[in-house]
Amino acid sequence: ATPGTFTVPPAQPPRLLFAGEVDGAAVVLFHDGGVRVVRYAEPLSGSGGAALDFARTDDADVTTGAAVVVSRTGDGARFLLAPWIDASTTRDLLAPDTPGRALEVGPDGVTAAVPRPAAGGACGTWPVLQLRSSERIVENHAFLVTDLGDLAPVHLTYTPKPGRGAPARQPREATSTEALVAWARTACSLRTLAGSGVRSVNNWAFAEQKLPEGRASADWLCTRADTWRGPGRVLVQFLAPAASPTEPAAVVADRDDTALCSRFGQHVLAGTHWRADSGRWYVLAAGSRAVTRIEASGAVRGAAGGPTFAVRAPRGADVELTASLREGGRLAAVH
Q: What is the mean pLDDT of each run of 10 residues along the chain (335 residues)?
A: 83 92 96 90 90 92 96 93 97 97 97 94 96 88 96 97 73 96 98 95 98 95 95 96 96 97 95 96 97 97 97 96 95 96
Report the amino acid identity of residue 152.
A
Q: Is residue 150 part of a domain?
A: yes
Number of domains within the chain = 1
Strands 198-210 and 154-159: parallel
Q: What is the reported pLDDT for 167? A: 63
Chain-centroid distance of CA 208 in Å reads 20
Q: What is the reported pLDDT for 140? A: 78
Beta strands in 148-280 (DSSP E): 154-159, 172-173, 198-210, 217-227, 232-239, 250-255, 269-275
CB 9 within 8 A of CB 3: no
CB 178 within 8 A of CB 196: no
318 DSSP assignment: -
User: Counting Cβ atoms within 10 Å, is residue 118 exposed (0-12), middle (13-18) or buried (19+)?
Assistant: middle
Q: Whole domain around residue 26: which residue ranges? A: 15-266
Rounded-to-integer distance, Cα 301 and Cα 226, Å: 36
Q: Is residue 90 part of a domain?
A: yes
Q: What is the reported pLDDT for 323? A: 98
Q: What is the reported pLDDT for 139? A: 79
Q: Is residue 168 part of a domain?
A: yes
Q: What is the reported pLDDT for 36? A: 92
Which whole-number Å values give the CA distances from 85 to 73, 161, 227, 321, in the listed order? 24, 30, 23, 47
Report the amino acid identity of residue 243.
A
304: β partners? 294
Q: Is residue 196 part of a domain?
A: yes
Q: What values do phi and psi take at 153, rounded to 5?
A: -70, 165
Q: What is the reported pLDDT for 2? A: 83
Q: Is residue 144 part of a domain?
A: yes
Q: Is residue 119 part of a domain?
A: yes
Q: What is the reported pLDDT for 166? A: 60
First to last CA, the chain: 31
What's the predicted TM-score (pTM) here? 0.95
Q: What is the reported pLDDT for 75? A: 85
Q: Is residue 140 part of a domain?
A: yes
The Cβ of residue 2 has, within 10 Å, a number of other Cβ atoms equal to 23
CB neighbour list of residue 75: distance below 8 Å, 6 or more residues apart: 115, 116, 118
The torsion of the CA quartet 89, 90, 96, 99, rounded to 10 degrees, works out to -40
Q: What is the reported pLDDT for 331? A: 97
Q: What is the reported pLDDT for 180? A: 98
- Three-class secondary structure of residue 99 per DSSP: coil
Q: Is residue 315 part of a domain?
A: no
Burial readout 205-244 (b: 16 or more C-beta within 10 A, e: otherwise): bbbebebeeeeeebbbbbbbbbbbeeebbbbbbbbbeeee
Strands 250-255 and 198-210: unpaired
Q: What is the reported pLDDT for 222? A: 98
